[in-house]
Homo-oligomer: A and B are copies of this chain.
Amino acid sequence: MSPSPVLVLGCGLIGTSLALALTEAGVEVHLDDILESNVELAVARGAGTADPVDAPAVVVVAVPPTEVAACVALALETWPDATVTDVASVKATLQNKIAALPGNERYVGSHPMAGSERSGPMAAYARLFEGRPWAVTSRAGADAASIARVVEIAELVGAVPLEMDAEAHDRAVAVVSHVPHVLAVLTAARLHGAPQDHLALSGPGLRDVTRIAGSDIALWQEILGANATEVRAVLEQVRGDLDRVIDSIGTDTDRLGDVLQSGQDGTKLIPGKHGEEVAALATVFVSVPDEPGELSRLMAHTGESGVNIEDIRIDHELGRRVGQVEIAVVAAQAARLVEALTARGWSAYS
């Protein structure tokens, strides 16, 4: 039996998306937010009802990071039979604060690994969590039924629950999310002062490395501040590697090679699609005129080939109306795709 009713406190992107997904899954969802207009928008989008609820099975706290602890405390006190969870992206400090509260055994932390560059209820989307990891930070003293309810919420919205303790979670996101964010920022920060004709040499690699540096600054100030200890520890290791590169560049090719090797090996550790090991993929390159419908025509022809597309990248180019498209497919199928596309008049190679 699904946990119901669910009360969602905070109708931003995550709260409203979750409410939409739970409503679609048949759960009775109640909504509240300090901003009445957010609740109205979320209700108008079909995310649930603004009516008060007497005895929610689960309360999901989806408010800004700095407000979470106080809001969880209030929820534990107000609804003495409810499981309470939150969606903040840093967990250990928060959990320690809550562990001192009456009813803390009914609290289980969550962190759905989902987001968007947009925010607010109008950006919300029921499928935001589909296939995404959802960390559930269980701990000694937490009520087994409450853990089960939070895991069920994650599964109901299509996420993949991963139980881990709060400290492990915070170490993990420092490495896979927070430090990559800082290094993207440091890369982009070096572009200031470069003349326009220097920047004209930019390629797709630079855009990839720096993309996430464009994210919301206030949110990242809060996230990095909340996970300061873990992030600082990893950044100090980065500084060690950076010093090794600075010392060895132009003087010690082998030592530089060791750092490059360590990075190349690291890329192979990232789990592939669907959490499987990375399959051996090959890239098929196709020239596509940059006109409405050409890309669609290419995709249609690709579909007719029966070869499944693993990934697509459009290489933005400088000074002319043409694009190169890179289509990633399982290596064994690349020749088949090239043949099918060439037969249909495309300039394709692998």
Q: Which residues of A contact B (CB under 8 A)?
A: 113, 116-117, 125-127, 130-133, 135, 158, 160, 162, 164, 168-169, 171-173, 175-177, 179-192, 194-203, 205-215, 217-218, 220-221, 224-225, 228-229, 231-232, 234-239, 241-243, 245-246, 249-251, 253, 256-257, 259-275, 283, 285, 287, 290-293, 295-304, 306-314, 316-324, 347, 349
Contact = CB atoms under 8 A, between A and B. Distances in A.
Contact of A317 (B130, B196, B203): B130
A177 B190 contact: no
Contact of A127 (B179, B253, B275, B287): B287
| Copies of this polypeptide in the complex | 2
A207 B113 CA distance: 14
A132 to B, nearest CB: 6
Given A249-B231, A263-B188, A318 B201 contact: no
Given A175-B198, A300-B303, 13 more contacts: A130-B320, A133-B318, A179-B190, A182-B245, A186-B259, A188-B262, A189-B266, A214-B267, A217-B260, A273-B316, A299-B299, A311-B314, A311-B316
Nearest to A126: B347
Interface SS of chain A: helix
Nearest to A180: B209
B210 A180 contact: yes
6 contacts: A133-B319, A160-B318, A176-B198, A225-B250, A239-B243, A299-B300
Nearest to A257: B221
A249 B226 CA distance: 9
A190 B237 CA distance: 8
A12 B174 CA distance: 41
A176 B199 contact: yes
Contacts of A236: 246
